[in-house]
Amino acid sequence: MKKNLFENFHWPLLWVVLSLAVLGLLNLYSALGVWGEGGQVDLIWHQLAWVSVGFILLLLLVNMDYRLWEKLGIYFYVGCIVALILVLLIGKVVSGHRSWLTVGPFYVQPSEFAKLGLIFILAKYFGDNPLPQGHGFRDLIKPLLLTIIPFVLILMEKDLGSSLFFPLIFITMAFVAKIKKGTIFLFLALVVIGGGLAYQYGLKPYQKERIRIFLNPESDPRKSGYHLIQSKIAVGSGKIFGKGYLKGKINKLRYLPDKHTDFIFPVLAEEWGLVGSFTILGLYTTLLWMGMGVAMRAREPFGVFLASGFVSLLFWHLFINVCGVLGMIPLTGVPLPFLSYGGSSTVAFLIGIGLLFNIHMRRFMF
């Protein structure tokens, strides 16, 4: 069986992931350096350590039958909920968000793993409850409640960006499972009403300011609009072929804020231009295409929903980050998979990639 698994390993997927990881480390090295000051280049070693941990977990998951997560998923989900509660009680505050737990010398962000926990539990639910005629509102109450719990806990941590992924994962996986037309219209109405109420009564003043600045960043170029304006300048100044590796002025002269996390894509666009940007986006597109291929070829429902859920997580991270820094949607502050600095997100994404490998290989086993 091990020989068969090795022969059926998804080698093209591995090369795409390795390419993104290596290019991400190279780009991060540039983002962390500052002309004449050196910068925080020590963080590149931290990121390299997290990438190594992620690949080790990926290899372990490859050798573990993914169907075990049908039973283990509930425990993983509950563990994530407990961790999110602990964050509210004893979590570390960084940049105004109480999102991190201190584990020895490391900071861990449970919300990144809670996304995987939700995917596990929703894949189990939809896999066990197939409805060819489509799910109605009553059928979606249980998975909706499972989605709301981590969503609310993360909102209480004041991390709006991370909280958005939970309803997005739920909606995507529900559409894969099939929803009745009447239920779709009901959900659209709820989203419109809920969005209006959230904007009026739920959003903080700085969050409303982000929406206003998205519409007109030039109205406050030195404060609220500064991030977005500098991001657009960095992307545009890269032109076709870029300024060259380690030669991005907007990056190296500290004009671009949060350049190693939320604004990592403008760093790449300035130094590698349109060609480099399209290369990275092409790798992401290939990764998403391969992930959907794994989902479509899975031999049982749990594998279909597990792969679909993780691919949706990758897609929404890519869409929200890149569109945000280009000014196409309001900025929300989410990491770009494999490129942004961040241990928890990197490890969580590599765990998800390990599950894709697992589902792909074991489609030949039964």
Question: Does the structure show a pLDDT above 90 at 366?
Answer: no
Q: How many CA atoms lie within 13 A of 139 on its CB side?
A: 20
pTM more than 0.85? yes
**Helix, strand, or coil here: 65?**
coil
The per-residue pLDDT for 214 is: 65
Question: Does the structure show a pLDDT above 80 at 95?
Answer: no
In tens, the pLDDT along 60-76 reads 998 888 999 999 999 99
- CB under 8 Å to 162, separation ≥6 — which residues? 99, 109, 111, 112, 154, 334
Share of the chain above pLDDT 70, in %: 89
Model confidence band, residue 98 (pLDDT cutoffs 50, 70, 90): confident
Question: Does the structure show a pLDDT above 90 at 99?
Answer: no
**Is residue 342 within 8 Å of 109, Cβ to Cβ?**
yes
Question: Does the structure show a pLDDT above 80 at 16?
Answer: yes
Q: Amino acid letter at 351? A: I
**Is residue 51 within 8 Å of 21, Cβ to Cβ?**
yes
Position with higher pLDDT, 196 vs 180:
180
Q: Any idea which residue has 């940007």 for tokens? A: 277
**Is residue 62 within 8 Å of 357, Cβ to Cβ?**
yes
**Is residue 220 within 8 Å of 205, Cβ to Cβ?**
no
The per-residue pLDDT for 364 is: 65
Q: Which of 62, 80, 78 is nearest to 17 (CA)?
A: 62
> What's the CA angle centered on 323, arms 199 and 109, to 5 degrees?
75
**Is residue 144 within 8 Å of 170, Cβ to Cβ?**
yes
Question: Does the structure show a pLDDT above 50 at 1?
Answer: no
Question: Does the structure show a pLDDT above 60 at 138?
Answer: yes
When divided into structural domains, the chain yields a total of 1
Distance, in Å, from the CA atom of 121 to the CA atom of 52, rounded to the nearest integer, reads: 27
CA dihedral 197, 200, 202, 207 (to 10 degrees): 130
Nearest-Å Rg of the Cα atoms of the chain is 21
Question: Does the structure show a pLDDT above 70 at 209?
Answer: no
Helix (H) or strand (E) holding 218: none
Position with higher pLDDT, 3 vs 326:
326
Strands (E), the chain: 92-94, 97-103, 106-108
Q: Which of 334, 335, 332, 333 is nearest to 211 (CA)?
A: 332
Distance, in Å, from the CA atom of 162 to the CA atom of 154, rounded to the nearest integer, reads: 7
Q: Which domain holds residue 113?
A: 2-364
Q: Which of 56-65, 157-166, 197-206 has the lowest mean pLDDT?
A: 197-206
The per-residue pLDDT for 196 is: 72
> What's the CA angle centered on 43, arms 355 and 316, to 5 degrees?
40
Tokens of 329: 């949607």
Share of the chain above pLDDT 90, in %: 63
The per-residue pLDDT for 273 is: 96
Q: Which of 120-129, 209-218, 330-339, 357-366 has the lowest mean pLDDT?
A: 209-218
Position with higher pLDDT, 6 vs 267:
267
Question: Does the structure show a pLDDT above 60 at 202?
Answer: yes
Question: Does the structure show a pLDDT above 80 at 38?
Answer: no
Q: Which of 4-8, 187-191, 278-282, 295-299 has the lowest mean pLDDT?
A: 4-8
Mean pLDDT of the chain: 89
The alpha carbon dihedral of 156, 158, 160, 165 has a sign of: negative
